[in-house]
Amino acid sequence: MVQRIVLIKDGYDVNGYFYVDKSTGRGYFFDPGAEAERIAEIIRKNGLIIEKIIITHGHFDHIGGAEELRSLISAPVFIHENGRLFLSDPHYNLSEFTGTGKISFEADGYFKDGDMISLDDGSLPLKVIHTPGHTDDSCVFYSEKESLAFTGDTIFKGTYGNPRFPTGNEALLIKNIREKVLTLPDETVLYSGHTKATTVKDERPFYRV
């Protein structure tokens, strides 16, 4: 399997991720915050087929390129069911404050806590772990087989996502990190939206777990 980080720049840097089955070239793209044409060009040059665009949470720096990328590569966009509000409302997705244009669109599908998502052939299964606190729609996507998780802005290397935006709740965020993320196996690699990768084992001391 391949986890390729694409640093997306549009005023705010964010990590977008390819999660692709090396044997088939099929997979996901996580959090296209901007630069949809650049992401699509990487897909074309590498002969990849992205079956699903997954959004970890509905802030502008994670969704800003999703609608355009969907059009360019004909892949559906998925977000947690609470993400409807964030995708539709520039206040909640924060795009009204950026000066780069207000973002509003609909996803193609929605998931909920505990759902399993996979590619069309059943490969690359990921468990949806709902972790509200940074936002009400924040999720972590966990692969038990590959010992990895895409965490968005729930947890970073050495810190966690800012809970001071609409629907944020710091106490709830820390509770979910302790109970839903740091209970994963020690070796689980955590791929976040804004920092280098880390592991569950390395993050536990910050939360006294």
Q: Is residue 60's pLDDT more than 90? A: yes
Place of tokens 């729930």: 154
Q: Is residue 62's pLDDT more than 70? A: yes
For residue range 133-190, list pLDDT tens digits in order. Answer: 999 999 999 999 999 999 999 999 999 999 999 999 999 999 999 999 999 999 999 9
CATH of the domain at 120: 3.60.15.10
The proportion of the chain whose per-residue pLDDT surpasses 70, expressed as a percent, equals 98
Question: Alpha-carbon Rg of the chain, whole angstroms?
Answer: 16
Q: β-strands 2-8, 14-21: how paired?
A: antiparallel
**CA of residue 34 relative to chain centroid, distance:** 13
Q: What angle do CA 52, 74, 191 make, to 5 degrees?
A: 30
What is the spatial distance between Cα 208 and Cα 23, in angstroms, rounded to a whole number? 40
Q: How many C-beta neighbours within 10 Å does residue 164 have?
A: 9
Q: For residue 12, name the pLDDT band (cuts at 50, 70, 90).
A: confident
Q: Can you give the pLDDT at residue 138?
A: 98
Report the greatest alpha carbon distance in the chain: 45
Name the nearest CA neighbour of 38 among 14, 6, 61, 13: 6
What is the spatial distance between Cα 79 and Cα 5, in angstroms, rounded to a whole number? 20
pTM: 0.96
Tokens of 58: 């509905």
Q: Is residue 100's pLDDT more than 80? A: no
Q: Which residues, at least 6 apart from 156, have a Cβ–Cβ distance to it below 8 Å?
A: 192, 193, 194, 195, 198
Q: Can you give the pLDDT at residue 32?
A: 96
- Structural domain boundaries, residue 134: 2-207
The proportion of the chain whose per-residue pLDDT surpasses 90, expressed as a percent, equals 90
Give the SS3 label for residue 38. helix
Q: How many residues are present in the chain?
A: 209
Q: Can you give the pLDDT at residue 209?
A: 67
Averaged pLDDT for residues 39-51: 96
Q: At what angle do helices 66-73 and 36-45 cross, to 10 degrees?
A: 30
Residue 67 and residue 105 in contact, taking contact as beta carbons nearer than 8 Å: yes
Residue 123 and residue 90 in contact, taking contact as beta carbons nearer than 8 Å: no
Place of tokens 């976040």: 192
**CA of residue 40 relative to chain centroid, distance:** 18
Q: Which residues, at least 6 apart from 23, have a Cβ–Cβ distance to it below 8 Å?
A: none
Q: For residue 23, name the pLDDT band (cuts at 50, 70, 90).
A: very high
- Our count of domains for the chain comes to 1
Averaged pLDDT for residues 37-62: 97
